[in-house]
Structures are given as C-alpha cells and as structure tokens.
Amino acid sequence: MKVHQVYQVARRHGVPIIGQGGIHTAKDALEFLIAGATTIGIGTALFYDPLLCRRINDGIADYLFRHDIPSVESLVGSLQIPEQGNAPVC
C-alpha cells in the first residue's frame, strides 16, 4: 500500500518523496523508486543487518546495469499504469 501511495502523490504533486517502510531488499527499494520516490529511507532493518545499505546499493546498481538504465534518476517515477476509466488501479 505504501508504494501505491508514493505513486499517487508523486504523480499528482511532483514533490520529492522519501520511500520508507518495510525496505529489506533491493527489490523493495526499487519498487519505491520506480513508483516515484526520489530516495529511500531504511530504519529498523539496519538493527538486524548493519550492512544492508551496501547490499541494497549493490542490488540497485546491478538492476540498472542489467536493464541498461543510465542512472537512478532515470528510474525514479518510471512506472506507467495505463488509464482505464474509473477502474481501480490495484
């Protein structure tokens, strides 16, 4: 739900957003970035894994490389959901 909220706010208002909550993997971070978060925040997970930031950064770099994306900036807000009238998005 938080990722969807980031998508809604980023699309409507165009303000910088910190995606935070439940980020434990690079996949989690990528979901927030693709939805429109300009950065991510990691909190409680660092208590369990102090090296988590390094692993997430490496995972994001690997994703960018594999998909030939030049930068994180190019990834931010790249989610495209086709408009379908009044049908719910999720």
**Using one digit for the tens of pLDDT, what is the confidence trace for 23-40?**
999 999 999 999 999 999
- Return the residue matching tokens 């706010």: 9
pLDDT of residue 86 exceeding 80? no
pTM of the model: 0.84
Contact 20, 43 (CB under 8 A): yes
Q: Report the distance separating Cα 72 and Cα 60, nearest Å.
A: 8
Report the pLDDT value the prediction gives residue 8, as an integer from 0 to 100: 86
Assign 87 a pLDDT band (cuts: 50, 70, 90).
low
50-84 pLDDT, tens digit per residue, is 999 999 999 999 999 999 999 999 999 999 877 76
Domain residue limits, the chain: 2-75
Q: Which CATH architecture has domain 2-75?
A: 3-Layer(aba) Sandwich (3.40)
